[in-house]
Structure 1
Amino acid sequence: MSSPKPAILLAHGSYHTPQPYARLRALLSKQGYETHCPQLPCASRDYLVADPRNPSFDQPPPSQGLPTQDLDVAALRAVLRRLVEEQGRDVLLLAHSSGGWTATEIATPELQRGKRGLEGRGGGVVGIFYMASFLVMLGESVWSTFAASTGEAEQGAREGQGWFSLLKERNLTVFNDPPYFLFHDLPAEEAEKWSETLTACPFLTVPLTNDAYSELPCAYMLCEGDRVVSSWYQELMVKKAEESSGRKMQIYKCPGGHESFLSYPELYLDSIVEFAEKCA
């Protein structure tokens, strides 16, 4: 009997909730894939402001302070450990945008299928599928990787306006004009709908400590119409990851923007399924 399909664990991007990924997850579910996408603290209103019921982010942080990516790692790793260590499942990681850092950080050797197999244990991470993600190098952070792309990422911006603003007194960033920068390849009404689900983002300065690129099969969805992380910078990050790891990434291409899993869901579905089968 053939092995069951891997479970899929999605690390969502900054400013996001799991809501925008629901359609892609539903399509994967119809293909027999069990999917998980926990809300990460660094994008959760509950962790970002003193009063989560207040729609404004121009308010004090919670009494415990702003979250760090260590909390994101803990939230995602808890699901991964349950799937791998308790259920013995193979797991394919999906990563969107800054979720590239989180997925790479949690895919540590003791949770990789290859390493576990050598120890006579079943299950483990079989690969990582990055979706317009930041590919962060060891010792670097999302913030430092983003800073290197800022000038190019803002070429598509309207004159005099970048895609994010700093709330310096709050140590937060908020998105500017998401219908233009994120959801430009969707109908206006749908773009507004998803824009309303966005939150804020603290400075993501935690350095990457795990080198998953060298140990796991990796794929990258290159988004050619991205107005946040330009396609040429995506290609540059892939090249750097390949050079540092000595491994080639499987490249997929989409004409859409940063959120093209919404505008081209079938293309994403086919690409993820193909990669999952290669990792089986």
Structure 2
Amino acid sequence: MSPKPTILLLHGAWNKPANYKPYITALETAGFEVHCPHLPTCRDTLKTFSDDVACVREVLDSLVQAGKKVMVIMHSYGGCVGSDALQEYSFPESNPNSSGGGVVHLLYMCAYMLRPGVSAWDLVERTGLDAVWPQYFDDWADGTSFPRYPDLWFYGGMEKETVDALIPRLARFPLQAIREKIRGDPWRRLPVTYARTEKDYALPKSFQDIMLDEAVEDGVKLRVEVYDTSHSVFLIQTEEMVRLAVEAAADERNPI
């Protein structure tokens, strides 16, 4: 049996790796090596989408140069960052000096999987949700934003005690980052698994369906698994998300 790929986990906007710790620990217990870089826009509001992409590429480049086969798990906004950062890292098409490393599978957890030339905000406008944005978000003059109801937005259905511990770890986020147009499309070339969430406020089912339908229109063969949860599926159904990662790691579509 081939060794498990290394996991590169890309967290969502307003978040920090600390909020993914239970999932990271469960993945490590299942035998995975996991890397979850803290995206710059979620720790410094002056940082940009390009800074997030550069951060991920730096980590990914070190893994690929070390000969690691990598499965990238993306949550929410992490899908935007991943789409740009993963260009040219597909296995076995990576740089010939990569010592045999490269990305072998993409796992999107209720994440943005956009066509090039489209931003996450474009999808907000396309569905008309920009009209109700002020009801759900506080926006500041410095360009940052924070959800008024993070318990509903991120953690619907979870225990209040758990939610109360998670919310203080969230951070204001620069909206310009989700207005940046995506340039990459690694999902057109690599095996994709998508975890769709049915009770999601942060990335509504309607958003996810649009992206999945467009991928199918583009001829992409997807494995889609449906979960009756809100946005933080990795916390609500941790065991199921670990199982999905194990299955994605062993997917027969993965390049060898």
Deviation digits for residues 3-59 of structure 1, max 9, x if unmatched?
321100011110000011111111111111000101101111xx12xxxxxxxxxxx
- Aligned residue type for 1:170: D
Aligned to 2:230: 257
CA contact (8 A) 2:67 2:98 kept: no
**What TM-score results when the alignment is normalised by the length of structure 1?**
0.84
Distance 1:187 1:123, change over 3 A: same
Aligned to 1:23: 22
Cα distance between partner residues in 1 of 2:143 and 2:97: 44
CA contact (8 A) 2:64 2:98 kept: no
Aligned to 2:117: 139
For the pair 1:90 / 2:69, whether they are aligned, the reply is yes
Deviation digits for residues 145-193 of structure 1, max 9, x if unmatched?
3332452996xx9xxx7332221x1111111111122212111111111
CA contact (8 A) 1:152 1:230 kept: no
Aligned to 2:145: 173
Greater Cα offset, 134-143 or 264-273: 134-143
Q: Report the alpha carbon displacement of residue 67 of structure 1 after superposing the two structures with TM.
A: 1.3
CA contact (8 A) 1:181 1:228 kept: yes
Q: Report the alpha carbon displacement of residue 274 of structure 1 after superposing the two structures with TM.
A: 0.6
Q: 2:181 aligns with which of 188, 207, 211?
A: 207
Cα distance between partner residues in 1 of 2:2 and 2:95: 15
Moved over 3 A (4+): 116-121
Aligned to 1:104: 83
For the pair 1:232 / 2:211, whether they are aligned, the reply is no
Aligned to 1:266: 239
Cα distance between partner residues in 2 of 1:250 and 1:135: 14
* 2:151 aligned counterpart, secondary structure: helix
Cα distance between partner residues in 2 of 1:153 and 1:251: 30
- Structure 1: tracts of 5 or more residues without a match: 49-65
Q: 1:125 aligns with which of 103, 125, 133?
A: 103
CA contact (8 A) 1:221 1:253 kept: yes
The CA RMSD over aligned residues, in Å, is 2.2
CA contact (8 A) 1:183 1:257 kept: yes
- Aligned residue type for 1:239: D
- Structure 2: tracts of 5 or more residues without a match: none
- Aligned residue type for 1:232: S
Cα distance between partner residues in 2 of 1:72 and 1:174: 19
- Aligned residue type for 1:128: L
Provide the aligned length of Structure 1 versus Structure 2: 251
- Aligned residue type for 2:220: R
CA contact (8 A) 2:40 2:47 kept: yes
Which is greater in Rg? Answer: 1
CA contact (8 A) 1:134 1:145 kept: no
For the pair 1:67 / 2:47, whether they are aligned, the reply is yes
* 2:23 aligned counterpart, secondary structure: helix
Aligned to 2:160: 188
Cα distance between partner residues in 2 of 1:120 and 1:81: 8
Cα distance between partner residues in 2 of 1:136 and 1:152: 18
* 2:38 aligned counterpart, secondary structure: coil
**What TM-score results when the alignment is normalised by the length of structure 2?**
0.91
* 1:72 aligned counterpart, secondary structure: helix
CA contact (8 A) 1:149 1:229 kept: no
CA contact (8 A) 1:153 1:228 kept: no
